Amino acid sequence: MTRQELTLAAEDAEDLEIISARLQDAVAPLKELVYLPKKRRFAALFNRFKWEEPRKGADLRVHALLHFDDVLSVRSKNLKRGAPDAVVSLLAIRFTAKGADDPAGVVELVFAGGGLIRLDVECIDAGLSDVGGEWAARGRPDHDEA
């Protein structure tokens, strides 16, 4: 069976929810999350859990590149700026529009432990692409609160 690499684009909040679902429980060292102000781009290289793969034996992870264009500024909260090798786990991506008819707004990347990255964007212009081979995950993420 041939594995398909994932490639998604987002131009609105609904599209962004799909990318968020694919990236739930993705992990990355902080040094792999970068803002390129001259290009107005935020990019992150994650190891994402392949939720879309049917569970037949081993669960899988794959390298995936997330990017946002038309980014005006980036702020972070509760992330270890001085620890580039610290690993963060992404829980969700959210978008809040500035107004009903305004495409601008704030994209929030929400991490386990209360970490947050806020992107002020002119509009939603995002993409997610698998960029490497897959490997067996060490475990399946579990969100039971018990």
Q: What is the largest CA-CA distance in the chain?
A: 47
pLDDT at position 101: 85
Strand, coil or helix: 18: helix
pLDDT at position 63: 96
pLDDT at position 100: 83
Strand, coil or helix: 122: coil
Closest Cα to residue 86, out of 96, 78, 94? 78
pLDDT at position 54: 65
Q: For residue 33, give the amino acid letter.
A: L
How many CB atoms are located within 10 Å of the residue 22 CB? 21
Closest Cα to residue 95, out of 119, 128, 63? 119
pLDDT at position 2: 41
pLDDT at position 65: 98
User: Could you give the number of structural domains in the chain?
Assistant: 1
Tokens describing residue 51: 């939720």
Q: Which residues contact 105 (CB under 8 A, 6 or more apart)?
A: 95, 96, 97, 98, 121, 124
pLDDT at position 146: 45
Residue 141 is assigned to a structural domain of this protein: no
Q: For residue 86, give the amino acid letter.
A: A
pTM tops 0.85? yes
Tokens describing residue 5: 């690499």
**Binned average pLDDT, 10 residues per bin, the chain of 146 residues:** 74 96 96 97 96 76 97 96 92 94 95 97 97 86 64
Residue 143 is assigned to a structural domain of this protein: no
Its domain, for residue 81, covers 7-135
